[in-house]
Copies of this chain bind each other. A is one copy, B any other.
Amino acid sequence: MSKQNTHSLVVTKSTLSRLPLYYSFVSRLQTEGVSHVSSALIAQHLNLNPVLVRKDLAGVSSVEGKPRTGFEVTQLVKDISNYLGYNKLDEAILVGVGSLGRILLTNTEFENFGLKIVVGFDKDTNLWGIQLGDKHILPMEKMESLVQRLGIRIGIITVPDDQAQAVCDQMVKCGIKAIWNFAFVPLKVPENILVKNENLPSSLAVLSHQLAKSMASQSKQ
């Protein structure tokens, strides 16, 4: 609680994206009854540099790790969970109840990571009123009133690419502040709106190109 203030450590995006991995590993240790964990052990498990892990944890942990014993597991789980807001749920809406939308909507896994999708929207009239799990599907027109009534700030876009920008615009108009975009198009948004793109073609490009490279270098030897 106090430490990161005094040191005012910067937690970068890359650190943020590693924290869930630490959390996952450390909370597994907790269920196994392990009491302490060293940065070296975490690093080894996640294929990272121990110094990097130490630095990341220094930014979020309320207590210092102890030489010879490492970090106390229970406390560490609490601290990361706290830092990432896993204890209090953020509410979100989802637009586009196609195959991917359905998965996200019905998968309650995200609630372990601080996100609760409360409702889905779709323009398909056939879907209106039905329930997936305990989530209702509503017509797009209901978005504004619902978002404002519940004070929802996160929107998830799972519509086809060519409709993503329009949905995005509507979300912004309704008061959504952060958008998780699963369509493969860049979204134009006002300055103060956050966008996180989920981008499978980019991932694929990295993987397949590295593969091609590694095969080439092997055949050369």
Which residues of A are at the interface with B, using a C-beta cutoff of 8 A? 11, 13, 16-21, 24-25, 45-47, 84-85, 90, 99-100, 102-103, 110, 113-115, 153-154, 177-178, 180, 184-186, 192, 194, 196, 198-212, 214-215, 218
Q: Which B residues lie within 8 Å of A154 (CB)?
A: 207-208, 211
Tell me, in angstroms, the Cα distance from A186 to B85 when the chains sit together. 22
**Complex contacts, A212 vs chain B, CB 8 Å:** 85
Chain B residues positioned under 8 Å from A200 (CB to CB): 110, 198
27 A-B pairs with C-beta separation under 8 A: A13-B206, A16-B209, A17-B199, A17-B203, A17-B205, A18-B202, A20-B202, A21-B199, A24-B184, A24-B185, A24-B201, A25-B186, A84-B205, A90-B211, A110-B200, A114-B204, A153-B215, A154-B208, A177-B215, A178-B207, A178-B210, A178-B211, A180-B203, A180-B204, A192-B214, A196-B203, A198-B200
Contact indicator A202/B99 (Cβ below 8 Å): no
Look across to chain B and name the residue whose beta carbon is closest to the beta carbon of A24. Answer: B184
